[in-house]
Chains A and B, each alone.
Chain A
């Protein structure tokens, strides 16, 4: 089973709202990732968690706050976003640093 699940599938929020994106995998993978993908562009790495610890933050603004409650779950907390943050947010996981990353279907976020 190489499934990564993400909820919600779609999210519309105002600039003053607080919301969270969720990602889950049950493959026993120890590394999890958040990517942002704008329309007609490739995915861009935001955060990397390894063994539930944040290992990479690609200079992401503080209005995005990641959280890894356990080895199967990854959250992305959103607060005071801007319209330009509207994008597809992808979660991925891999067995370890050196292994293939498997992506979830993404959450389509629209900020009004």
Chain B
């Protein structure tokens, strides 16, 4: 089955710095990936997604990079703010024909003021 994992469980950055959160996946046939942000006591919030026919996608202050050669995904957050502190999950769409997501283990981002 699919396997989605993160390299680091925690990440601390200074306010204003850029953050990079990494994710590895094992299924080379995966074609859709999503990043979610989950704040304490809340449900996951969609941040950005990317399909396998793209290498890079940009949103507001966020960029997702996809390297299919090494099956690696990253989320870059520019000018990190205290409100960015949360757990970030990458998720991979299942390959069973339905939209079942497989989540990675999550990275807790802490922004130091």
Question: Could you tell me which A residues sit within 8 Å of B by CB distance?
Answer: 2, 4, 6, 31, 33, 40-45, 48, 50, 55-56, 58, 90, 92, 94, 96-106, 108
Contact = CB atoms under 8 A, between A and B. Distances in A.
Nearest to A98: B99
Given A42-B89, A97-B97, A101-B99, 5 more contacts: A43-B89, A100-B34, A103-B43, A103-B44, A108-B41
Contacts of A40: 106
26 contacts: A4-B43, A40-B106, A41-B105, A41-B106, A42-B89, A42-B104, A43-B101, A45-B101, A50-B98, A56-B96, A56-B98, A58-B100, A90-B44, A92-B43, A96-B99, A100-B49, A101-B46, A101-B101, A103-B36, A103-B44, A103-B45, A103-B46, A104-B43, A105-B42, A106-B42, A108-B41
Interface of B: 32, 34, 36, 41-46, 49, 89, 96-106
- Count chain B CB atoms within 10 A of each CB in A4, A96, A97, A101 and give the residue with the most: A101
Given A42-B89, A42-B104, A42-B106, A97 B98 contact: yes
B38 to A, nearest CB: 9
B100 A45 contact: yes
Nearest to A58: B100
Contacts of B101: 43, 45, 101
B47 to A, nearest CB: 10
Contacts of A97: 97-99
A48 B45 contact: no
A40 B106 CA distance: 8
A102 B99 CA distance: 12
Nearest to B93: A98
B46 A100 contact: yes
A45 B46 CA distance: 17
A50 B99 CA distance: 10
